[in-house]
Amino acid sequence: MSSGDASSEFLKNTERSTGSAALRKNIQAALALAGTVRSTLGPRGLDKMLVDEEGRSLVTNDGVTVLQTADIKHPAAKLIISASSLQDSVARDGTTTTVLICAELLENAWELIRQGIHPTIIAEGYWQSLQASLDALQEISRPIDMSDNVELLQATKTSLAGKGFVAIQSRLAELAVEAANLVTVEDSNGVSRSDPTLVKVLANRGGSSLESNIISGLVLAKSCIHPKMKDFLEGGKILLLDGELEMRSPTIDATLKITDVGMLNAFKVQEKELLKAQVDAISQLNPAILVVKEGVRDEARQWLADAGITTYRRVEKTDLELLSRATGARIINRPESASESDLGGFSSSHEELWGSVTHWILEGEGQRGATLVTRGATEEILEEVERCFADAIGVACQLLEQPLLLPGGGATQVAIGRRLRRLAESIPGREQLAMEAYADALEVIPRVLAENSGLDPIDELLRVVSAQTKSGDWIGMDSDRQVIVNMDEAAIREPILITQQALKGATESAINILRIDDVLWAKEGPSIPGGMPGAL
Ligand code: ADP
Ligand code: MG
């Protein structure tokens, strides 16, 4: 069969949608998607129960979990899901917000298209609106009070609201702030850099999850391999070997005939010399600590002890990588070709006995690293603690890097909307309508927050808008107390990065979808989650 035949065969199984028909389908998919997560938004959001093919269930209030678990094949829906996954990895929060705003942007675009405005004009107007909104965020935000950890803790806690068990949210926020401080350093320009991935998680079954704690440094359930080696060091150099220090017994196969005993011995002597040469190469560099991913042969262990090199072996690759980043050591594969520049630095190393297991605790030089020791009665609890912590540390680290806060409870979206409507008046042409549509779309957040607390979305939105006109950008909705107040008073504040990223992700996906005017549908493929909404 020629390749031409193959592609026509492929096309037989697809339908081609062009122009506005394709766009309409894409927008329907986006709305359906938003419909599935709408009810989870905010502290009063409902939980969703997800059931997989094997009948296992998971109860969650987290938009991105809902979307990642659902089996959605629609191309436009997939694009939005990938925007929310990006949101999750960059900002650790704001995923539902991203999906809701994107769908609303598309729905409003559809209205304009029906009035005869071309998608390209709308895309252009949305792009201008995004830039204006990002500027507005800087104006609305205020610096976080760094004199103590109070605001840092509150903002971290706000982002945990509705995730995981309430009982340990405060504790997790505390742990996250503590760890974030440990993995934040100032670079040479005096700019704070936080690396949440330098926090290792060590699950320790048993006890209550409230007893989870943070240790400064990386903790490995290991002890050094020779009683003569020092298990307490106050700083020095470290070498990381992704390999082994073993004598490989010669592989005997058909091409190699062992004719007498002497020959095998000769091999062994040669192997031992090779091993000695490797250990000598390491000793030359004089590291205080050597970490070997695989095994270390008895002879080598003795030589290393004699050379005064504290050695750890059989270390997971992920731990080796963490050690590398915390100490600046380069991971080497062959000791013979290692050089001074491969060495990293540590500021302390010691061992502690926890229960019956020895743990090695190493603090890097510069970036020290940190370890969360999770406690919990069951595997599920340990995993849940780890998952919530990952979100919390992400948020805490962002705040240390970019210490600006925005009001939550819909205040920020209303405040941007007010600015955009003013700005729209000064824009000639049809982009003006797109900017107004953009402002309307952002207000989906306060509307849905009100809806999810059982209030009338339009009434509440109007109340926030008019309260802001009188008292400023920080007035929003406190869903817990069902009042409209200054978000500073209610301590509902969020790191600026979450909203920045959510606006970028939502707008970019909406624009991409507006620009797709030709879609190939695999007949068996695209399914629209939750069925077609009747609205369009
Ligand atoms: P996302 O996945 O977008 O983070 P969430 O379910 O976490 O969705 O809801 C986040 C929204 O809830 C934000 O707009 C935040 O400002 C708002 N929010 C959080 N706590 C409160 C509160 N107590 N009152 C009103 N809004 C709140
Ligand atoms: Mg959230």
317: alpha, beta or left? (left if phi > 0; alpha if psi -120 to 50):
alpha
From 89, 416, 449, 503, the mutation candidate for ligand 1 (largest count of ligand atoms within 8 A of CB) is 449
For residue 486, count other CB atoms closer than 10 A to its CB.
Answer: 18
Answer yes or no: same fold for 150-217+373-402 and 219-368. Answer: no
Measure the CA–CA gap between 155 and 486, rounded to whole angstroms. Answer: 15
DSSP state of 533: -
Residues within 6 Å of ligand 1 by CB: 40-43, 45, 63, 93-97, 158, 161-162, 408-409, 445, 449, 477-480, 492, 494
Q: How high is the pLDDT of residue 50?
A: 63
Domain range annotation of the chain: 10-143+406-522, 150-217+373-402, 219-368
Q: Closest residue (by CA) to atom 11 of ligand 1?
A: 42
Class of the 219-368 domain?
A: alpha beta
Q: What is the pLDDT of residue 8?
A: 46
Active site residue 148: no
CATH class of 150-217+373-402: alpha beta
Cβ contacts of 416-420, under 8 Å, gap ≥ 24? 416/133, 416/136, 416/137, 416/140, 416/442, 417/442, 417/443, 417/465, 418/465, 418/468, 418/469, 419/132, 419/133, 419/136, 419/139, 420/129, 420/132, 420/133, 420/136
Catalytic site includes residue 391: yes
- Rounded Cα distance, 491 and 437, in Å: 30
pLDDT reported for residue 259: 67
Q: Which of 342, 391, 440, 473 is catalytic?
A: 391
Q: Is 5 a catalytic residue?
A: no
Look-up: residue for tokens 């409209």?
Answer: 484
Report the CATH architecture of 10-143+406-522: Orthogonal Bundle (1.10)
Query: pTM for the full model?
Result: 0.78
Report the amino acid identity of residue 439: A
DSSP 40: G
From the alpha carbon of 95, which atom of ligand 1 is closest? 2
**Nearest ligand, CA of residue 443?**
1
Averaged pLDDT, groups of 10, the chain, 536 residues long: 45 59 87 89 76 66 69 83 89 91 96 93 96 98 92 87 74 94 90 91 88 94 96 96 82 58 80 93 97 96 97 96 94 94 96 93 89 91 88 92 95 98 93 97 98 96 98 96 96 94 97 76 44 39
Length of the chain: 536
Radius of gyration of the chain from Cα atoms?
A: 29
